[in-house]
Structure 1
Amino acid sequence: MNNPATHKRAEIHEHRRASSSIGVRGFTLVELVIVIALTGVIAAGLMVFFIPATNSYFDARRRAGLTDNADTALRRMARDIRMAVPNSIRSPSNHCFELLPTITGGRYRLASDVTNDAATCTTATCSMPLDTSQPSTGFDVLSPMSTLPAVGDWVVIGNQNPNDVYAGTTRAAITAIASSPQATFGQQRLSFNAHQFPLGYAGGRFSIVANNGNAPAVFYVCEGADGTVDAQGNGKGTLYRLHHGFTPAYPTACPATADAAVVTRNVRSCNFVYNPTIGSTQQRGFVWMQLDLSDSNETVSLSFGAHVDNVP
């Protein structure tokens, strides 16, 4: 017996089942392959434009880093050169040079204070000039010092030849630092063991070199920079800053760099040229410095010149 209500419900159920089947129908394998292929083509086309831009960005970033490293290294060397003891630069090779940095300096008393010295004053209470005609044990400092020296630091006076200060002819170790007995005598009084400074020097100037753990001298050494790069396109050399003790004889080669501080890496080539007698008066020197740094086949080359005051 056909029941109209039952038949109607069956039609509705069949319609819902058909609608549900249509709603869950997905992509066919062919459609997916086509979509993947089109996506690949579009991505490949976009990469043609994006890869050069990306490479250019990283290349520019490497060049900027190399430029900053080279500039910082050159400026650091130039600062030490300008603050060096007069005539203390020694250059055994175009890959290295030595100098003696100062921490401060000033003017010393050249003659006794005849106005303020008492008639009965003693060595401790009189003014103390430096007499270069005989061994001296100290002097009054007339000008303010930007940095006060310490016991053990070196006072350098009248250095006219590169080897003199290293050999000890023009330097003496400070044994005491005190205020002058009277304000009219000077700012401070520096004492040291009896030392004969260069005869006849009347410039009145002195420099102070820090003891720095008995390693006051500085060597800048460019090691391993042969003008080539490694398999990754990086410079194979390294620039070092080395502290060491006094060496009386003029160095004949760059020293070993064990335990030296690294100034910059990736050095492809370097060149240091020192002219101690530039100018008509031969009282000014000049150091020419060039660094070539390479990173991933990107290379920058910077040059810098620093004037040297060789007037003691």
Structure 2
Amino acid sequence: MVKRRSAIHTQEGFTLIEAVMVIVITGIIASMVAIFIKTAVDSYFDSVRRAALTDAADIALRRLSREVRLAVPNSLRVSLAGGVYSITLIPTRDGGRYRNESDGSSGGQPLCSGGTVNASFDALGPMPAVAVGDSVVVFNDASLNPGPGCAAPSDVYCGGSRAAVTAVGAHSLTIGALANSAVICSYENNRFQVVDQNIRAVTYTCPAATAGAMQRFANYGFSTTPGGTSATVVNGATCFVDDSNAHRPNGSLYVNLTLTDNSGERVEVFRQIHVDNTP
């Protein structure tokens, strides 16, 4: 009787050498792919950082621009001291027109009578947003404001062209004394601005060379020296500010803002801000 031998079943698979070769080849391919992908990924993150910096710079300049455009005429002051630019202004809350004794009307109370400022006056048209404690500014003229200090007779910072509101009526305002009555009463455009008592003067500071914080100071009174409460507008900032054309009747303030983040990424944004100096 012949016995049959059982068939030997062999197992198939990868050898160690084949497995190592596959791993090496896969690593080479992955390295080659990573080289091309890395450039695209780095470019993406660079663009994200630049976009974030650009947005931050744009928001900062928009905020500054809004307050400069709404500032009391001829209240803009720019200085550079200790490597820091200071941009000082007095933003307005609202404005209106007052009754003038020469407007041909016999009714109501004008701002001036016989060349003297009255203690109260009527506002023409809708009553502006004003509260007791706010300030009224009249005729802050560029020709009367040659520079900082209180030599100018009608400088808003010195009080010559502003007075505190002591009472508000339906169509009238009662105010304190306007120091320069002769100048105020010669003003023919009959406009006045209202300054919020909780803000008053505002100063933006920005480093000129070394990156640091751009800050906003407010509620420190009517002064060109910043104080009061401060808030950081944006970090990593350096600025160049040119106000050589800002003091014309329709002037321009030039601000070049550079932002740098921790990675060294930087953007530079330029803004030309219109300054209306017509009182």
How far, CA to CA, are the matches of 2:31 and 2:104 in structure 1? 92
Counterpart-to-counterpart distance in 1, 2:189 and 2:56: 39
User: Contact (CA 8 Å) 2:200, 2:222: kept in 1 or not?
Assistant: no
Are 1:304 and 2:271 matched, yes or no? yes
Task: Flag structure 1 segments of 5+ consecutive residues without an equivalent.
Answer: 118-126, 180-187, 228-235
Could you tell me how far 1:112 is from its partner in structure 2? Answer: 8.1
Q: Could you say which residue in structure 1 is the equivalent of 2:233?
A: 263
Instruction: Give the structure 1 partner of residue 72 of structure 2.
Output: 85
Q: Secondary structure at the match of 2:130?
A: coil
Contact 1:129 1:139 in 2 (8 A): yes
Cα distance in 2 for residues equivalent to 1:96 and 1:114:
45
Q: Are 1:134 and 2:116 an aligned pair?
A: yes
Which segment drifts farther, 68-77 or 239-248?
239-248
Do 1:270 and 1:290's aligned partners in 2 also have CA atoms closer than 8 Å?
A: yes
Change in Cα spacing, 1:247 to 1:156, as seen in structure 2 (3 Å) is: closer
> 1:192 Cα shift?
2.0
Partner of 2:241: 272
* Helix, strand or coil at the partner of 1:166: coil
1:118-141 Cα shifts (integer Å, max 9, x gaps):
xxxxxxxxx111007224222111
Where 1:270 maps in the other structure, the secondary structure is: strand
Find the counterpart in structure 1 of residue 58 from structure 2. 71
Secondary structure at the aligned position of 2:51 is classed as: helix
Are 1:190 and 2:173 matched, yes or no? yes
Q: Judge conservation of contact 1:112–1:128 (CA < 8 Å) in 2.
A: no
Q: Aligned residue for 1:185?
A: none
Q: Is the 8 A contact 2:219 2:229 kept in 1?
A: no
State whether residues 62 and 298 of structure 1, in contact with CA within 8 Å, keep that contact through their aligned partners in structure 2.
Answer: yes
One-letter code aligned to 2:156: V
- Partner of residue 288, structure 1: 254
Q: Given the alignment of the two structures, is residue 242 of structure 1 paired with residue 208 of structure 2, yes or no?
A: no
Query: Which amino acid in the other structure matches residue 242 of structure 1?
Result: F
Secondary structure of the residue that 1:260 maps to in structure 2?
Answer: strand
1:49-84 C-alpha deviation (Å, 9 max, x unpaired): 111111111111112222222222122211111100
CA drift at 1:277: 6.3
User: Residues of 2 paired with 1:198 and 1:310: CA distance?
Assistant: 21
Aligned residues: 261
1:104 to 94, 99, 104: 94
Partner of 1:159 in structure 2?
Answer: 140
Match of 1:57 among 44, 60, 80: 44
Q: Percent identity of the aligned residues?
A: 39
Q: Distance in 2 between matches of 1:29 and 1:290?
A: 65
RMSD over aligned CA atoms reads 2.8
Once the two structures are superposed, residues 188-217 of structure 1 have per-residue CA deviations (whole angstroms, 9 ceiling, x without a partner) of 2112234445422232000001011xx421
Pick from 173, 176, 182 the counterpart of residue 167 of structure 2.
176
Residue type at the aligned position of 1:47: A
Question: 1:219 corresponds to which residue?
Answer: 203
What amino acid is aligned across from residue 122 of structure 2 in structure 1? D
Q: Which moved more, 1:302-311 or 1:194-203?
A: 194-203
CA contact (8 A) 1:88 1:165 kept: yes
> How far has the Cα of 1:244 moved from its partner?
3.5
Aligned counterparts, 1:36-55, within 5 A: 36-55=23-42
Task: Check whether the contact 1:274–1:287 (CA below 8 A) recurs between aligned residues.
Answer: yes
Give the letter aligned to residue 192 of structure 1.
I
Q: Which has the larger radius of gyration?
A: 1
How many angstroms apart in 1 are the aligned matches of 2:268 and 2:162? 39
SS of the equivalent of 2:35 reads: helix
TM-score by length of 2: 0.82
Tell me which residue corresponds to 2:125: 143
> How far has the Cα of 1:31 moved from its partner?
2.7
Q: Retained in 2: the 8 A contact 1:107–1:205?
A: yes
